[in-house]
Amino acid sequence: MSKFELSLPQLNGSFWIARIRFLDNFLVREFCGASNRNLKILEKNTGSVFKQNADKVILRGDTQEVVKQSLNIAIQLLDLIEQGKGLHAAEVDQFSRMLMREPDVELKELVRETVFVGDRKKRIFPRSLRQRTYCKSITHKDLVFGVGPAGTGKTFLAMAMALSALYKEEVKKIILCRPAVEAGEKLGFLPGDLVEKVNPYLRPLYDALNELAGPEKAERLMTRGIVEVAPLAFMRGRTLSDAFVILDEAQNTTPEQMKMFLTRIGMGSKAVVTGDPSQVDLPRNQTSGLRQALGVLRDVEGIEIIRLLDSDVVRHPLVSTIIRAYDHAGMS
């Protein structure tokens, strides 16, 4: 039985009004968020005013259509909460923006498409339609390019899919790699031996692995050589068979490095290449291997290129706003 009641949009003076009456205090707290943070996000994204009044939330807008669409978003979010899905502010932001663009999307169906159950039973699922397409492409294709700005889940989802394939025994090992020269730094100028030098570049991959598998399981997998985290240069001369291989930050590969990586893929393997073509840290006169590959391979059968956008960002709500601001200023 639902723990909230609805009053459909009605004209009240010059505004359209809808009401949600809550029959459960926990539900109203989860929906509104701390200090009504979720309501403020919904106001920003929908164009309706969301105002809490005791056990009610009142929606007010200039047109019936705006309030109706806002109410649909609220209902879908409430359905998720009733199913036990806690909502973070970033999710409220992303889901509401997605539903404003695509009101026919069913959030329950999107959330149900869990790709991996991680540490502490955390369910990993696509949080946008493009993320869902990305995950399905990884399932059905042997080589997938996932390109887009930071925070769109490119690497995190790929790693979740890799662990899922490993646990299902579809592959025998996971290899995570990325270029070891980024952000204008050269390995020769970094302190320590080779391992110490490359570790700062690989840290994001370790962090994602620890978050998904849990630190203890991740450590066991790496100790046994089932999961390998290495700089791209270590792939030269190898044939990667029965493996799930992820190349991260691929925009910082040279064309030669990209070709070397793509030709390492062996039988029974799957590869995902992730990167952001707008964030190349190579010298100005150096062509990005990712940019070149996206052009050369765009029509090759068996290869899928998925382009994620700022609307797919799943980090703090400010991240997508910052990305859009830089794009608008021509500083992508």
* Residue carrying the six token digits 């630190």: 215
Are 28 and 50 a contacting pair, CB within 8 Å? no
What is the DSSP code (8-state) at residue 266?
-
What proportion of the chain, given as a percentage, has pLDDT over 90?
Answer: 64
How far is 220 from 321, CA to CA, in rounded Å?
A: 39
Domains and CATH numbers, the chain: 4-112 (3.30.1370.10), 116-328 (3.40.50.300)
pLDDT at 315: 67
Indicate whether 192 pLDDT > 80. no
Kindly tell me if the per-residue pLDDT of 198 is higher than 90.
Answer: no
pLDDT level of residue 101 (50, 70, 90 thresholds): confident
Sign of CA dihedral 189, 246, 165, 86: positive
Which pLDDT score is estimated for 13? 94
Position 197 pLDDT exceeds 70: no
Per-residue pLDDT, 185: 44
Q: Say which amino acid occupies 127.
A: R
How much is the pLDDT for 9?
96
Kindly tell me if the per-residue pLDDT of 171 is higher than 80: yes
Characterize 33-49 residue by residue with b for buried, 16 or more Cβ atoms within 10 angstroms of its Cβ, and e for exposed. beebebbbbbbebbebb
User: How far is Cα 111 from Cα 57, in angstroms, rounded to an integer?
Assistant: 25
Per residue in 120-133, pLDDT tens?
Answer: 777 788 888 899 99
Task: Identify the band that residue 183 occupies on the pLDDT scale cut at 50, 70 and 90.
Answer: very low
Mean pLDDT, residues 47-76: 96
Identify the band that residue 4 occupies on the pLDDT scale cut at 50, 70 and 90.
Answer: very high
Mean pLDDT score of the chain: 89
Reported as a single tens digit per residue, the pLDDT across 218-276 is 999 999 999 998 888 888 888 889 999 999 999 999 999 999 999 999 999 999 999 99
Q: What is the mean pLDDT of residues 21-44?
A: 95
In the chain, the largest separation of any two C-alpha atoms, in whole Å, equals: 74
